[in-house]
Amino acid sequence: MGIQITPSILNADFAKMGEEVARIPSADWVHVDVMDNHFVPNLTFGPTMVEALARATDTPLDAHLMIEDADRNAPVYAEAGASSVTFHVEATKAPVRLARELRAQGARASMALKPATPIEPYEDMLPELDMLLLMTVEPGFGGQKFLDLVVPKIRRARAMLDKHGIETWLQVDGGVSLETIERCAEAGADVFVAGSAVYSADDPDAMVEALRSAAAGAAGHS
């Protein structure tokens, strides 16, 4: 599995979602930020939007759930058509059970950690995950500045994955741009969420390819 670029539609035009997704044909996934105005202070999409997007594009959907009570609510997004469902460990009481439930429904199971949440307590459950998401900003809003303090955690997470010999993907989300993606790739990330960097570009799809190239170059020198 090589470098994957997952544009976030949080920065797209909500009134033209089908058209906005069509502007990024080179994307590996479409990242859908689901916020409930409780776990984070913002309100965005729900399962109905995921269903509509799944009908509008052949690109698989990566649903990032910034919502409370993930144990009960996350499976709904797999049912709605998300190919990958990410729950926050801070919002679940039984992460292993939830990951297994998502996988049983045919979705990739992913777990997200806020910047201040350490990775070490979850090392033993990494084999239960298809992807681990390390937030490089505080979740809740797009356009935030990348937090360099997370880079050492990316390195530690990559070392854990390599130690266990598992193929769990390592995703980063928050402030990812041409100025920051190389640091993340060099540290060991291989899946990159980019929102404002993509949708503020004159040619969003060209930016997807530029980000992929930058990350691949940095990963090759790590």
Residue 152, phi then psi, degrees to nearest 5: -60, -35
CB atoms within 10 A of CB 26: 15
Give the active site residues.
Answer: 33, 173
C-alpha torsion sign, points 199, 214, 29, 123: negative
Q: Give me the sheet containing 108-113, strands edge to edge.
A: 4-7, 191-194, 169-173, 131-135, 108-113, 84-88, 61-66, 30-35
Q: Is residue 11 within 8 Å of residue 174, measured between CB atoms?
A: no
